Amino acid sequence: MTMQDFTNPNISPLKVGDSLEKALRWMEELHCHALPVITEEGIYKGLIYENTLLELWENEIEWNLIALEYPDTFIYENQNWMDGISLLKNDKEMIALLDEEGMFLGAITAKNFINKLANIYSFQEEGSILILAVNQTDYSLSEISRLVETNNAKILHLFTDTIPQEPFRLLVTLKINQIDISRIVATFERFGYDIAAKYHQALVFDDIEQERLGLLFKYLSF
């Protein structure tokens, strides 16, 4: 899974030279309150909000004469999806996805981001989430499944993701059909697995991503 998977394909960016009328029309058609703005070359410049455009309309001022909001609020395509949670936590409607050269690749809306995660994690089904950090050479789906099943549990969903800062490591996310996974966690620890994060009935997050995962569940509880 990459950050590109979270982009909203319906959101198209405005260009610096576009008219105020076009900007407002696009927002109305897309049912959104903000749009990303790029240069003719595709470089991301920031976000423009509907309430700002309406004020400019009333005062007959072109929007490209004002400073855009959140020019530094973006995420690179090679970043982990957990970084997106931190960026979206302050009621931002969307963030821009860029390549390493600053070229705009797409827009990630808060709603799209949350819905995507909800589908991935199967939140509609009761259970717990366990995230393992493993070396790519040590990853074994059959062993992971066996360790879960020895505790009379089943994996409802599993996906892997790379760790940008550690290219030879994987994050393995498990959705398990038990509320209390303390015995399962103990089993993985006994077999030498690193527990990156866990969420279960006790509402405990024990890892370096505690704050970010807390934000994730806060979003999904709304």
- Where does a domain end: 114, 147, 174? 114
Find all residues with CB under 8 Å of 99, minimum gap 6, and list them.
76, 77, 105
pLDDT exceeds cutoff 80 at 21: yes
Q: Of 4-18, 111-125, 184-198, which gets the smallest average pLDDT?
A: 111-125
Same domain, 110 and 126: no
Average pLDDT of the residues of the chain = 81
What's the CA gap between 213 and 197, in Å, rounded? 8
As a whole number, mean pLDDT of residues 142-147 equals 96
Residues present in the chain in total: 222
Cβ atoms of 96 and 69 within 8 Å: the answer is no
* pLDDT of amino acid 208: 45
Judgement on whether residues 109 and 7 belong to the same structural domain of the protein: yes
Q: Are 170 and 138 in contact (CB under 8 A)?
A: no
- 155 shares a domain with 65: no
| 65 and 109, same domain (yes or no) | yes
Q: What is the DSSP string of 47-76?
A: EEEHHHHHHHHHTT--GGGSPPB-TT-EEE
Q: Are 94 and 34 in contact, with CB atoms under 8 Å apart? A: yes
Domain CATH for 107: 3.10.580.10
Asked if residue 101 and residue 41 are part of one domain, the reply reads yes
Q: What is the mean pLDDT of residues 130-138?
A: 92
Q: What is the pLDDT of residues 60-93, one digit of tens each?
A: 777 766 788 888 889 998 887 767 776 776 556 7
Same domain, 65 and 138: no
- In which domain, by residue range, is 100 found? 3-114
Which of 114, 130, 161 is a domain's end point? 114
Is residue 5 pLDDT above 70, yes or no?
yes
> 29 with 85, same domain?
yes
Domain count, the chain: 2
What pLDDT does 138 receive? 93
Q: What is this structure's pTM? A: 0.59
Nearest-angstrom CA–CA distance, 137 and 139: 6
Which CATH number belongs to the domain containing residue 146 in this structure? 3.30.70.260
Q: What is the pLDDT of residues 109-125, one digit of tens each?
A: 887 887 777 666 555 56
Collapsing DSSP to helix, strand or coil, 196 comes out as strand
**110/130 same-domain check:** no
Question: Are 17 and 109 members of one domain?
Answer: yes
Looking only at the bridges linking them, the beta strands covering 34-38 and 14-15 are parallel
Residue range 196-201: mean pLDDT, rounded: 70
Last residue of a domain, one of 96, 114, 132: 114
Mark whether 29 and 108 lie in a shared domain.
yes
